[in-house]
Structure 1
Amino acid sequence: MGPRVIYVHGNGNKVRAELLKSQWDRALFGRDMGEVSRMAYWAPLRYDTPLPDSEPDPLDGAPEAFQELPGPAAVEAPEEFVARTLGESWFESGGAAPEGPWTGEAGDPLGRWLRDMTYLADTLAEGPPAQGPGPEPGLEALPLPAPARKAVFRILVKHTFKDVHAYFFGGAGPAIRDVLRAELDAVGDAPLLVVGHSLGSIVAYEVLAETRRETELFVTVGSPLAVKEVQDHLAAPPAVPAGVRVWRNASDLRDLVALDHTLRPEYAPQERITDLLVVNDSPNHHGIAPYLADAQVRGACQEVLDRLAGP
């Protein structure tokens, strides 16, 4: 059997599996890949019916609170962004603030951190994207002691990352991972590329770490795996899965799901990982198609696929 590509989609409901796979194929390779690619399609575990074919993905893997980020013609101040996303969206959705001083408002430590992250993203986005092969300072989402950080993370994902909450805290994780395991079983010992987006990157990471499946290339895009609060809830300490030969992690600095864009400092051995800073100009900077179509992501996948396919 020739090489196979397995996709793992992210948060939110999706179009039917065949169409979703075709969309990823065309974004990543510019053509339909037929039996070469497969989609680990776990959306039916969380949603009764797929999105209509003609309906764009309303979440595209992004949290509901970030669906309507302003475009270039309407830029809001970071303080307004924080108040809107963790103020109105959080409390009007019925969410409760964590106990203690961390109220989710723009003036508390979490709000200040998000404000600073927004400024940082805006500043860095002015420059060209660059490949980041070396370690750099981590950007921890919640600068709090571990027990408080975990409590705030649970509340945050419950009201903005609902599928992430179901995965980590709602008992959905094993069934979602089983979907990917079934796809891995279906391709047997074929040389493998795995591409995970958003929550899909977490699913792929945990399954590859557990199964130790030999994987020529692991690609994560818009991934929160570098965020300490996500690492707190992984089944095993962060490390490159034993069977993964090469890991490429791509993120846009404005992507609020990939709050920390560098995996390399936390996931050893570091020489197997390259963090790529790319431009994702979807409205929320998290959409899957711009990530897959990026030259660095597409080039890495095409090179490995061509090499494995042979002459």
Structure 2
Amino acid sequence: MPGLLSGASADVRFAYYGDLFPGNGARPAAVEAEPSEAEAVVELLLEAVDERLIRPQDDREARVLRRARAQLAPEGDQQGAGDVLRRALNAANTLLALPPLRRVGGLLSAGIMVHRLGQVRAYLARRHPDGSGMSLDRRIRARVARELHGEHPSVVVAHSLGTVVAFETLHEHQGTLPLLVTLGSPMGMRTAVRPRMLPQPLRVPAKVGSWLNFWDRDDFITGQPLLERCVAANASGVLPVSRRIDSDGIWVHPAAKYLAQPGVAGPVIEALEAVPPV
């Protein structure tokens, strides 16, 4: 694909919005969170743990998950955002004993895990207005929308929280969208994410012509990975098509891990080749 790599065949754009989060994305937003906000991070972790407890890979994983769950939902009263945040960090630290999350060379830490989940929480809170009163989630969607072509077909590849952002943004997009690809999406989380997304009930955006959703068994961030079970078809009958992949390594959630898989990169390249040059 020399033409694609040189930029001659496609206008490739990356919508970055990490700087919009409280603290400019430099540290977990939950550090100074109110109790209700910190609880939302715990809720995300708790749901992820419960999803994996349904079908643990082995007895060791089940023991680690049960210990993390006990840290997330201890008996007795817990007061204040600090206590709630400590529960999240302690549980995340416990979860790092799982093979796909085990820390090697400082590549992953409990703080990073909580930070990632804290960004999901911050977006779905629909708060943190700027000087003009525009909430964080609206500012993020506006930045993504600016990178979409209005007159030319667009292929959208979204990862993690970006899958939630893309889903909501594309409901307002009127351009042609032959393919949406989602990687490591948390959209299937039944209580912490799915019911807080907009618009409800969840339905494939009208202009999406095809949707491929990729998930890895060792990706702790995904909840219910089969999005076709929780997202209704659009008027054209398009549903998400979920495909499992198996990556190697200690931390399979990054987008680069997904895109390194031929089964993921192949459909993206085919769709880009089919899009007329801008």
2: distance between equivalents of 1:33 and 1:50?
A: 31
2: distance between equivalents of 1:289 and 1:300?
A: 16
Pairing 1:87–2:71 present: yes
Bigger relative contact order, structure 1 or 2, given CA contacts below 8 A and separation 6+? Answer: 1
Which residue of structure 2 aligns with residue 168 of structure 1? 124
Residue 159 to residue 192, structure 1, CA distance change in 2 (3 Å):
closer
Pairing 1:96–2:84 present: yes
Which residue of structure 2 aligns with residue 214 of structure 1? 176
2: distance between equivalents of 1:43 and 1:159?
A: 11
Residue 87 to residue 251, structure 1, CA distance change in 2 (3 Å):
same
Q: 1:121-132 alignment to 2 at 5 Å?
A: none
1: distance between equivalents of 2:194 and 2:165?
A: 13
Residue 86 to residue 177, structure 1, CA distance change in 2 (3 Å):
farther
Residue 48 to residue 224, structure 1, CA distance change in 2 (3 Å):
closer
2: distance between equivalents of 1:89 and 1:41?
A: 34
Query: In the TM superposition, what is the alpha-carbon distance from 1:44 to its structure 2 partner?
Result: 1.2
Pairing 1:254–2:218 present: yes
Which residue of structure 1 aligns with residue 17 of structure 2? 42
2: distance between equivalents of 1:232 and 1:198?
A: 17
The one-letter code sitting in structure 1 at the alignment partner of 2:229 is: P
**Which sections of structure 2, spanning at least 5 residues, go unmatched?**
28-43, 49-58, 89-94, 101-112, 128-135
Which residue of structure 2 aligns with residue 235 of structure 1? 198
Pairing 1:278–2:278 present: no
2: distance between equivalents of 1:64 and 1:45?
A: 23
CA RMSD of the aligned region, Å? 4.2
Q: Give runs of ≥4 in structure 1 deviating > 6 Å.
A: 63-66, 88-91, 157-160
1: distance between equivalents of 2:254 and 2:114?
A: 21
Residue 218 to residue 86, structure 1, CA distance change in 2 (3 Å):
farther
- 1:305 aligned to 251, 269, 272, which one? 272
The one-letter code sitting in structure 2 at the alignment partner of 1:168 is: L
Residue 195 to residue 86, structure 1, CA distance change in 2 (3 Å):
farther
2: distance between equivalents of 1:42 and 1:79?
A: 37
The structure carrying a bigger helix percent of its residues is 2
Residue 32 to residue 253, structure 1, CA distance change in 2 (3 Å):
farther
- 2:62 aligned to 69, 74, 78, which one? 78
Query: In the TM superposition, what is the alpha-carbon distance from 1:49 to its structure 2 partner?
Result: 7.7
**Number of residue pairs aligned between Structure 1 and Structure 2:** 210
Q: Percent identity?
A: 26
Which residue of structure 2 aligns with residue 136 of structure 1? none
Aligned residues of 1:238 and 1:267 also touching (Cα < 8 A): yes
Pairing 1:196–2:152 present: no
The one-letter code sitting in structure 1 at the alignment partner of 2:12 is: S
Query: In the TM superposition, what is the alpha-carbon distance from 1:280 to its structure 2 partner?
Result: 2.6
Which residue of structure 1 aligns with residue 104 of structure 2? none
